């Protein structure tokens, strides 16, 4: 494993690595402070563990067991067909923002272990900004227990703010998975599954699939839809 920044680093302590980092199976990139890796990070079934701070980098993931925990600001997230990227694990949630996602068939699975008393702020979170609120998928996003996925925004706070306005409860016997859309998502070459009961990554869903299952909530910014005149979710062939 490779560590950048020590435990005494604050979230504002800056580290800059001009090269690239490759993390192979069984190894981890451990980060403290605000760490920029200009050459990008490649995960070959490896892990990124961000402690006190944020990783700023492009990330490429290969293999079926790459994992990101802690905060990461990703310019381009690149995957490969059949790959799996886990956002969060049984020890810690992930908090990831992505400008552009080129998944190429990858499945992204959000699911940290549920902890009694957890709030939506404790969930694993991921946001994909896209362009002008429009996101065209070429991969699968599976939002499991204690997780929130956002499309069309560059942050994870908007989903939390919107959920607070719903009057719903985040909890084991209530809502445990959320989807927030600010604009439009095309799933013709990808899929979205939101299932608050899901604790393990499923087989990759078929392209065009949209599922909102038990213990889940879907939140849409109606003003964005009205402004653009486009449905929040397009390209759907299977709804469950």
Q: How confident is the model at residue 37 (pLDDT cuts 50, 70, 90)?
A: very high
Mean pLDDT of the chain: 94
- Are the beta carbons of 63 and 83 closer than 8 angstroms? yes
Give the pLDDT confidence score for residue 240 in this predicted structure: 85
Give the pLDDT confidence score for residue 223 in this predicted structure: 73
Structure tokens at 234: 């397009």
Give the pLDDT confidence score for residue 225 in this predicted structure: 61
DSSP calls for 157-194: HHHHHHHHHHT--BSTTSB-EEEEESSEEE-TTSEEEE
Q: How confident is the model at residue 159 (pLDDT cuts 50, 70, 90)?
A: very high
Q: Is the pLDDT of residue 6 over 70?
A: yes
Give the pLDDT confidence score for residue 49 in this predicted structure: 97
Q: How confident is the model at residue 215 (pLDDT cuts 50, 70, 90)?
A: very high
Q: Is the pLDDT of residue 155 over 60?
A: yes
CA dihedral angle for residue 140, residue 145, residue 151, residue 153, rounded to 10 degrees: -140
Structure tokens at 3: 């560590």
What is the average per-residue pLDDT within 121-131? 96
* pTM of the full structure: 0.95
pLDDT digits (tens, 9 = 90+) for 57-80: 999 999 888 999 999 999 999 999
What is the average per-residue pLDDT within 185-199? 96
Q: Is the pLDDT of residue 226 over 80?
A: no
- Are the beta carbons of 96 and 131 closer than 8 angstroms? no
pLDDT digits (tens, 9 = 90+) for 167-190: 999 998 899 999 999 999 999 999
What is the average per-residue pLDDT within 93-107? 97
Give the pLDDT confidence score for residue 224 in this predicted structure: 64
Give the pLDDT confidence score for residue 45 in this predicted structure: 96
Q: How confident is the model at residue 96 (pLDDT cuts 50, 70, 90)?
A: very high
- Are the beta carbons of 58 and 38 closer than 8 angstroms? no
């Amino acid at each position: 494993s490779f560590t950048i920044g020590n435990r005494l680093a604050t979230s504002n302590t800056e580290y800059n690595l001009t090269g690239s980092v490759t993390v192979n199976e069984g190894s981890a990139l451990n980060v403290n402070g605000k760490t920029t890796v200009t050459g990008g990070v490649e995960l070959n079934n490896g892990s990124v563990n961000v402690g006190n701070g944020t990783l700023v980098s492009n990330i490429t993931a290969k293999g079926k067991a790459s994992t990101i925990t802690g905060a990461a600001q990703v310019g381009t997230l690149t995957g490969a067909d059949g790959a799996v990227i886990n956002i969060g694990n049984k020890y810690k949630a992930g908090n990831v923002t992505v400008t552009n996602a080129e998944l190429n068939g990858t499945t992204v699975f959000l699911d940290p272990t549920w902890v009694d008393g957890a709030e939506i702020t404790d969930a694993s979170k991921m946001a994909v900004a896209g362009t002008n609120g429009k996101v065209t998928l070429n991969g699968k996003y599976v939002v499991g227990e204690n997780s929130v996925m956002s499309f069309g925004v560059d942050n994870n706070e908007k989903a939390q703010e919107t959920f607070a306005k719903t009057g719903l409860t985040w909890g084991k016997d209530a809502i445990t998975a959320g989807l927030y859309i600010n604009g439009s998502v095309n799933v013709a070459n990808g899929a979205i599954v939101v299932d608050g009961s899901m604790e393990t990554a499923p087989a990759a869903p078929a392209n065009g699939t949209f599922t909102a299952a038990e213990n889940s909530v879907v939140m849409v910014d109606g003003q964005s839809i009205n402004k653009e005149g486009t449905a929040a979710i397009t390209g759907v062939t299977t709804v469950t």
